[in-house]
Amino acid sequence: MLDVQALEGCKVLDISTFLAGPFCATQLGEFGADVIKVELPAVGDATRRFGTMTECGDSLPWLSESRNKRCITLDLRKPQGAALLQRLVADADVLVENFQPGTLEKWGLGYDVLSGVNPRLIMVRISGYGQTGPYKDRPGFGRIGNAFGGLSFLAGYPDRAPVTPGSATIPDYMAGLYGALGTLLALQAREKTGRGQVVDIGLYEPIFRILDELAPAFAYKGYVRQRMGPGTVNVVPHSHYPTRDGRWIAIACTNDKIFARLADAMGRPDLAGESRWGTIAARERDRTLVDETVGAWTATMDRADLMRACEQAQVPCGPVYSIDEIFEDPHYAARGNILRMQDPRMGDLAVPNLVPRLSETPGKVNWLGTSLGAHNAEIYQGRLGLSEDEMKMLAAAGVI
């Protein structure tokens, strides 16, 4: 293992708010980037007040998702604030924002201006619908990204309303992931060209991108996939099944060989015969009956016994976990997926550990989300060289 982090020396300005842009910057900070979080004075990022509030005055999502960031306050709407941002941009590598398109331009902080200050700057721009197109001025949140991107329509049962697909924040996290990927690609390109560029992401676009064959299937055959409950198109049994102890197990038979192994585990090898359900086509034809048959078998056993039976038969399976079960699972513990931190404001706190794990230059979490403006003096006086009097005047004017 090397005594260096992958993004060490990379300077990032995070002027975004709730949640896609900040998550993009967080991932960069987890792997060594120096991230400065810019927030509106006296107000801060909306994430500070979203979710479960704590006695320190900030929410759990803030503490978890603003890790490794140095927090400063700055009102970008004021000319003095815009000027200070440009000074910070002068030696920055990346700026992340997720305002509605045109907002930064209105404040005199568009990419044309900022790239003039620093031609090597990479600007990550995440918005509801992207920087172009007829809907670019519409506001967007994660729920809208799920809906417009095509995922919500698939979530739930066919005879009921579409449901939230796991979490309304999935598009925010996905856009943040693609934002981080775009940043790395742009940094690599800059090594060749010497110039920065804009990374443009609409919240709905990562959702649309991960919908497997949905788009080509419609273009090819006009097929419009409908809601299937816990089932999966093209393969069966591939769903969640009840257990005797009131829990659920996920079983995934993606080909005929795996189904034959499941049939053996069930004590019903005849189910995989040519005259029954030995082929994907036959199982698809009798999808409901196949799922009912498997479910009737799983309901006769406790989940732990089912897991052992499926594992012995080499049938892919997994428990459908609630969060308390995740905290008890030995694999999560062995992999260090749950990180316990000592926060100066909160004490012991558990948060999801970072992903991915690098063998030679692993990332790390140095601290959790800090208080509003915690690093004002460090950045404005230490980096920009402002005097104490200048700091007081800017604070009195509401600029910082």
Q: List the end-to-end C-alpha distance of the chain, in Å, as a whole number.
A: 41
The tokens 């809906």 sit on which residue? 147
Active site residue 172: yes
**Strands 34-39 and 11-14, how do they pair?**
parallel
User: Pick the catalytic residue: 172, 200, 286, 305?
Assistant: 172
Given a contact cutoff of 8 angstroms between Cβ atoms, the answer to whether 227 and 162 are in contact is: yes
The tokens 């999935």 sit on which residue? 170
Q: Cα 97–351–348 angle (5° rounding)?
A: 125
The CA dihedral of 84, 86, 88, 90, to the nearest 10 degrees, is: -150
With a CB cutoff of 8 Å and minimum separation 6, the contacts of 209 are: 178
Beta-bridge mates of residue 242: 248
Phi then psi for residue 156, to 5 deg, are: 115, -165
What Cα–Cα distance (Å) separates residue 343 from each residue in 64, 281, 350, 370? 11, 55, 10, 9
What Cα–Cα distance (Å) separates residue 233 from each residue in 227, 228, 236, 296, 319? 10, 8, 8, 21, 21
CA distance 372 to 71: 6
Identity of the residue numbered 109: L
With a CB cutoff of 8 Å and minimum separation 6, the contacts of 89 are: 13, 95, 114, 117, 118, 121
CA distance 22 to 125: 11
Pick the closest to residue 101 from 152, 64, 71, 138 (CA basis).
Answer: 138
Helices 20-30 and 170-193, axial angle in degrees (round to 10): 60
Q: Cα 253–209–31 angle (5° rounding)?
A: 95
Q: How many CB atoms lie within 10 A of CB 246?
A: 8
Catalytic residue IDs: 172
